[in-house]
C-alpha cells in the first residue's frame, strides 16, 4: 500500500485496537480468584468459572453493557457478588474488594499492542489525520491515553463518558466527521467490534475496517461484512 492508498482520515477505536485490552485478563482473574476463593470455600478455577458465566450474561444486554462500562469497578463488583451468590455465598464486601484488586492489577499490566504506537506515528508521518473514538468511563480512558502519551497522534478524542453517548450511536461518528470537516467517503473507522466499528459507521458511508485481533474470523451468524479485515493496525501500512 502506498501513501495515496491511505484515507485522509482514520477514526480509531482504543481498546483491543490500540490497547491490548483483553491480553492478561485471564491471568489477572486467576490471581484474584486464587487469593479470594478460600474465603468462600471455593477453589480459584471454580470461582473464576462462575464469574465468567455471570459476566457473559451481564454484558450480553446492551443496556447493562452501556451502564456498566461507564463505571467498570461497580459493574465488576456486582458481577463478582452475583457470581458468588450462585455458589451459595452472599459477600458484597468481598465482591468490591475483588473488583478493586482486579481492576488495579489489570490497569497496571495493560499496554498497547506491539508496534501499535509506532503505527500511529507512521500514519501521522504519512499525513493521515486521526480521531480516537472510544466507549467507556472518561477517567479510565483518559488515564490510558495519558499514560501512553497517545493524545499527540489525534486531532480529536471522543470518549463516551465525556461526550454523553458512545458507539454505535450515529452522532458519535457524525461529530468526528464534522469536527474534522470531512465527508464519510474520506474516512475509515478501524476497530475490533463488528457492530460499533464496522456496521454502524458503514451505514453512514464510512469505510469499515475490522481488527480481528483474535484471528478468529467472522462469526458464522454475522451479517456484517467489513470493507477490510486486519489482525493488527500495522497491516494498514502494508
Looking at 64, 81, 109, which one is the last position of a domain? 109
Looking at 87, 109, 131, which one is the last position of a domain? 109
pLDDT at 1: 36
Q: Exposed, middle or buried: residue 107 (CB in 10 Å: 0-12, 13-18, 19+)?
A: middle
Closest Cα to residue 157, out of 4, 25, 18? Answer: 18
**What is the per-residue pLDDT across 11-61, written as a single tens digit (0 to 9) for each?**
999 999 999 988 788 889 999 999 999 988 889 999 999 999 999 999 999
Task: Extract the C-alpha cell encoding 109.
Answer: 499490566
Print the domain residue range for 93: 25-109
Judgement on whether residues 73 and 146 belong to the same structural domain of the protein:
no
Judgement on whether residues 132 and 196 belong to the same structural domain of the protein:
yes
Residue 132's pLDDT band (cuts 50, 70, 90): very high
> Residue 4: pLDDT above 60?
no
Do 160 and 171 meet the contact criterion of CB atoms below 8 Å apart? no
Concatenated DSSP letters for 42-107? Answer: --HHHHHHHHHHHHHHHHTSHHHHHHHHTSHHHHHHHHHHHHHHHTT---HHHHHHHHHHHHHHHH
Select the more confidently predicted residue: 5 or 159: 159
Number of domains in the chain: 2
pLDDT at 207: 98
> Residue 230: pLDDT above 60?
yes
**What is the per-residue pLDDT across 191-226, written as a single tens digit (0 to 9) for each?**
999 999 999 999 999 999 999 999 999 999 999 999
Judgement on whether residues 128 and 17 belong to the same structural domain of the protein:
yes
Residue 109's pLDDT band (cuts 50, 70, 90): confident
Judgement on whether residues 155 and 205 belong to the same structural domain of the protein:
yes
pLDDT at 2: 37
pLDDT at 225: 97
Q: Say if residue 168 is preceded by a cis peptide, omega within 30 of 0.
A: yes
pLDDT at 165: 95
Residue 3's pLDDT band (cuts 50, 70, 90): very low
Rg (CA), the chain: 19
**Which phi and psi (to 5°) does residue 112 adopt?**
-65, 155
pLDDT at 26: 87
**Chain-wide mean pLDDT for the chain?**
94
User: What is the CATH number for 16?
Assistant: 3.40.50.1000
Which position has the grid cell 481498546? 15
Amino acid at each position: 500500500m502506498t501513501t495515496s492508498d491511505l484515507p485522509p482520515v482514520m477514526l480509531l477505536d482504543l481498546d483491543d485496537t490500540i490497547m491490548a485490552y483483553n491480553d492478561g485478563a485471564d491471568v489477572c482473574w486467576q490471581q484474584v480468584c486464587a487469593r479470594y476463593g478460600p474465603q468462600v470455600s471455593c477453589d480459584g478455577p471454580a470461582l473464576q468459572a462462575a464469574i465468567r458465566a455471570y459476566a457473559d450474561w451481564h454484558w450480553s444486554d446492551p443496556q447493562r453493557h452501556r451502564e456498566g462500562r461507564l463505571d467498570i469497578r461497580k459493574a465488576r463488583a456486582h458481577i463478582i457478588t452475583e457470581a458468588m451468590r450462585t455458589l451459595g455465598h452472599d459477600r458484597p464486601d468481598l465482591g468490591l474488594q475483588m473488583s478493586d484488586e482486579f481492576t488495579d492489577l489489570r490497569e497496571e499490566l495493560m499496554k498497547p499492542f506491539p508496534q501499535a504506537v509506532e503505527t500511529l506515528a507512521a500514519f501521522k508521518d504519512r499525513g493521515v489525520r486521526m480521531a480516537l473514538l472510544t466507549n467507556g468511563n472518561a477517567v479510565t480512558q483518559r488515564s490510558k491515553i495519558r499514560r501512553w502519551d497517545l493524545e499527540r497522534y489525534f486531532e480529536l478524542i471522543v470518549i463516551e463518558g465525556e461526550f454523553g453517548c458512545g458507539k454505535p450511536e450515529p452522532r458519535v461518528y457524525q461529530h468526528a466527521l464534522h469536527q474534522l470537516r470531512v465527508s464519510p467517503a474520506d474516512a475509515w473507522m478501524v476497530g475490533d467490534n463488528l457492530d460499533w466499528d464496522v456496521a454502524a459507521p458503514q451505514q453512514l458511508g464510512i469505510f469499515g475496517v475490522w481488527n480481528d485481533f483474535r484471528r478468529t474470523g467472522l462469526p458464522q451468524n454475522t451479517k456484517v461484512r467489513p470493507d477490510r479485515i486486519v489482525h493488527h493496525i500495522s497491516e494498514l501500512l502494508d
